Amino acid sequence: MKKYGFFLIAALLIISGKVMAQELKPFNPLSMWEMERPGNPEVSPDGNWSVFPVTSYDVDENTSATNLFLLNNISGEVRQISFSGSDRGPAWSPDGRKIAFVSGRHGGPGQIYLLNIAEGGEARMLSDLPVGVYGLRWFPGGNRIAFAANILPEYMGDWEKHRSMQKEMEESKVSAKVTENNMYRYWDRWLTDGHVSRLFTIETSSGEVTDLMPESGNFFGLMGGVSYDISPDGSAIAVSKNSTQPPYETTNHAIYLVPTDGSGAITNITADNPANDLNPVFSPDGRYILYGKQSIYHFYADRVVMTLYDTQTGNFTELTGHIDLSTEQWFWSEDGNTIYFLAEDRAMKSVFSIPAAGGNHTEVFRGGTNGGAALAAGNNIVFNHHNLSAPPEIYRVNLQNGNAEKLSAFNDGIVEGIDWGKIENVTYKGANGADIQMFINYPPDYDPSKEYPLVMMIHGGPHGTFGDTFHFRWNSQLFAAPGYIVAMPNFHGSTSFGQEFTKSIHGNHADLPFRDIMKAADYMAERGLVDEDRMAATGGSYGGYMVSWIAGHTDRFACLINHAGVYDLHLQFASDFSANRKYQYGGSPWENFDQLNAINPSQFAHNFSSPMLVIHGEKDYRVPVAHGFMVYNIYKNMGLDARLVYYPDENHWILTPQNSLFWYDEFYGWLERYLK
């Protein structure tokens, strides 16, 4: 029987499938995995309906299932329309009568299926390719669908040849991986098998497939997916893809125009920009392409500026260059006069609008974290919303009065039975007197007359944020539930607080964030909230880097938890993409060596004393697993308290239910050992 530590008692409060009357229970990891996870809505052409995927998990079987649901944007009625457990990526036909989606229900790689919403019945399989497809979009006439696939370019349009080449690769007895590229693996997979990303079209009547990029030998997004749009007349596609060539000393996503006649004569329209250009979207009249532009190629968190490209004149116009927000997920109003977009802003992701002709932006909806916003009937926007105390659901906001309401209720039964901890949003003075925003998550039944143990959460990145978001891996409510106060400071380098604040640690990841975190602990103690003798520092990825840095610079914390953390900056040159590390760290093993070591946690092991829990996954190529082994072994050889939790089948994240439950149990056990 699996042990779930502290929360086994809470789980037993559920009797005969019903929560005992008037009795709320603390949030627990098992409840989190029982929650359903709705994705972003895709709105029908008439705005009356939305289709979206919902993922659910079977904890006992350690599996997941994703199905499609249909939402009436007016009444809020929701019903399930697919049931195979492997359906995703829906797209509406122009007449709103059909939905195309990707499914693996046939037992092979994901293929295109068509479901007739107007007439009902079973979905029919449209494509039958030896590779999985993704990124479906209908052409305006409704007779073709565009899609992306990762293929072997040697197939030369012959899918049977491709099938044969794949089989030969799968049956090969040679396991060696060979490269001369700077980038040869990413996240948790190798990039040496020769696959490249391309766009295709398929005829909805005949199933005939056309390769739109027969000469392309590059990739779209390394984390999967593709960002593109079809012109209103169907003659061209604008797509974001990497423009650099092997050996990939740098990467640079550019916007390409691809003719849809299959000629393959693609054109890079942003070739003059050395940094990324992202997410192209045509204006309703087809004249303009709206996309996001970055300016610093070696700074992944550089501000994204919405930019207009005039297809008639070739001119570029920055729409949000005067706004200190990094924009994303933009879309046009039907008349083309207004552009809506999302942006992180002060630890929340909000919805904004701006005139397409330029000018001042307006906040449409603020609060929590929002995604997948789209225009719907009745002058509304529908979107996916969640916050620190509420899992994702589909919401609607009225553009006239700003009123927002929740439309879906997938998790109401669980949410209403939970004793949630209160959230407080505060600002304190950090390094150099700067204002630092921080969320505080109090435990359930908080008693202000008591001092509580503190769990300091340190976010990854470092250019990220602990925002007002419901996190399914680092969930502050779960950390607070056993009786801890949780602090989430958004230190220097965090996103959503302006370009200069984010950029302030580029070249030195240690100094300012460390000082901000120490001042966060001071703030919590000075308010009388926490017991300074019972404090823990926890973090993953860059957060783990900072945990190791803390270990070498203070004994203030009773214990430390280091998940997938960077320990030795030299070893990070073995990570999946190391080309920009010298800019991020201000040095490298071959130049500015002293600066690199000045911010390298491994150089301060002689100061270690605080007990450390180390967690790492074998398939983590972003922060190679040797980091975890190294800091753990050093701790043990120094005779210090340390515990290692190693996952041979997980990557940078812990993604499966049983492994996650075990992770939380280890997490709770370590805190209880030193804080209780």
**Euclidean distance between CA atoms 477 and 389, whole angstroms:** 7
pTM (two decimals): 0.94
- pLDDT recorded at residue 2: 39
**Of residues 440, 610, 482, the one with CA closest to residue 535:** 610
Per the CB < 8 A criterion, the answer to whether 25 and 10 are in contact is yes
Q: Is the pLDDT of residue 618 over 60?
A: yes
- pLDDT recorded at residue 6: 42
- pLDDT recorded at residue 16: 37
User: Which amino acid would we find at residue 107?
Assistant: G
Q: Is the pLDDT of residue 642 over 70?
A: yes
Q: Mark 349-366 as b/e (b = at least 16 C-beta within 10 Å).
A: bbbbbbebeeeebeebbb
Contacts (Cβ under 8 Å, ≥6 apart) of 451: 528, 529, 530, 531
Q: Please write the tens of the pLDDT for every residue from 28-62.
A: 999 999 999 999 999 999 999 999 999 999 999 99
Residue 637's pLDDT band, with cuts at 50, 70 and 90, is very high
- pLDDT recorded at residue 228: 98
DSSP per-residue codes, 400-413:
TT--EEE---TTHH
Q: Is the pLDDT of residue 447 over 80?
A: yes
**Euclidean distance between CA atoms 201 and 573, whole angstroms:** 40
Per the CB < 8 A criterion, the answer to whether 538 and 565 are in contact is no
Q: What angle do CA 478, 483, 485 make, to 5 degrees?
A: 80
DSSP state at residue 86: B
Contacts (Cβ under 8 Å, ≥6 apart) of 236: 230, 257, 258, 259, 260
**Euclidean distance between CA atoms 183 and 125, whole angstroms:** 36
- pLDDT recorded at residue 15: 34
357, containing H or E segment: none
The domain locations on the chain are: 37-126, 415-675
**Euclidean distance between CA atoms 641 and 645, whole angstroms:** 14
Q: Is the pLDDT of residue 1 over 90?
A: no
CATH number of 415-675: 3.40.50.1820
Task: Find the distance separating the first CA and the last CA of the chain, reported in whole Å.
Answer: 25
Contacts (Cβ under 8 Å, ≥6 apart) of 360: 354
Half-sphere exposure for 97 (CA within 13 Å, toward CB): 7
Mean pLDDT, to the nearest integer, of 361-372? Answer: 97
Mean pLDDT, to the nearest integer, of 387-392? Answer: 98
Q: Is the pLDDT of residue 20 over 70?
A: no
Residue 120's pLDDT band, with cuts at 50, 70 and 90, is confident
Rg, C-alpha atoms of the chain: 25
- pLDDT recorded at residue 39: 98
Residue 177's Cβ-count burial label (10 Å; 0-12, 13-18, 19+) is: exposed
Contacts (Cβ under 8 Å, ≥6 apart) of 447: none
**Euclidean distance between CA atoms 246 and 354, whole angstroms:** 39
166, containing H or E segment: helix 159-171
Q: Please write the tens of the pLDDT for every residue from 303-336.
A: 999 999 999 999 999 999 999 999 999 999 999 9
Residue 3's pLDDT band, with cuts at 50, 70 and 90, is very low
- pLDDT recorded at residue 433: 97
Tell me phi and psi for residue 221, to 5 degrees.
-95, 130
Q: Is the pLDDT of residue 8 over 70?
A: no
Q: Is the pLDDT of residue 202 over 90?
A: yes
Question: Considering the chain, what is the average pLDDT of its residues?
Answer: 95
- pLDDT recorded at residue 12: 37
